[in-house]
Structures are given as structure tokens and as C-alpha cells.
Amino acid sequence: MKYNPYAPYPEGNRNDEGSEAMYKEFDATELYCPNCKSAVPVRKRLLLVLPEGDKYEYLCAYCTASLGSKLDKNSKPTSLLI
Ligand SMILES: [Zn+2]
């Protein structure tokens, strides 16, 4: 099998906001989106960095509605060196 680096993206390289980098990762989680009226894959967006952890917002991958947020506890010890 040859790998073709110039092969087009399957869905036409959608890059709506040009800010893909701000989405740290995709979550496997699916949440119910009231707009899409179904369970949808979510995007996890970093909202706030708190001393006790990072606060993430879950956005619908299709319509980017906010579906909730969660606090990701930092596993590293909170030792602030000032
Ligand atoms: Zn949606």
C-alpha cells in the first residue's frame, strides 16, 4: 500500500473556525444535545485553569452548543512556588 500524502481529506477538510488547536482533545463521551435532538460526540474545551484543576466545557461537535462542563482534577500536587 502506498501512502499518498496529497490525498484529500474524506470530508473536505472542514476547518470552520481555524482554531482547532484550542480544542485540546476529543472525548469519546457522547452527550445529548437539545439542538441536534440526539446523542452527539462532544468537544472538550478548556475554560478555566483553577488551582484545583482545569475546568472544561463540553461542546456539541456539530452545533457547538454548550452541553455541560466538568472539572478535571489535576493529578499533580498543588504546590505554588511564588
Ligand atoms: Zn448539537
For 13-66, the pLDDT digits (tens) are 555 554 444 555 545 578 999 999 999 999 999 999 998 899 999 999 999 999
CA distance 1 to 3: 6
Q: Which residues, listed in sequence order, are joined to residue 33 by a DSSP beta bridge?
A: 38
18 Cα: distance to centroid of ligand 1 (angstroms): 19
34 Cα: distance to centroid of ligand 1 (angstroms): 7
Task: Please report the pLDDT score of residue 73 as a whole number.
Answer: 87
51 Cα: distance to centroid of ligand 1 (angstroms): 31
Which three cell numbers, joined as nine digits, stand for 47?
475554560
CA distance 75 to 79: 12
Its pTM stands at 0.54
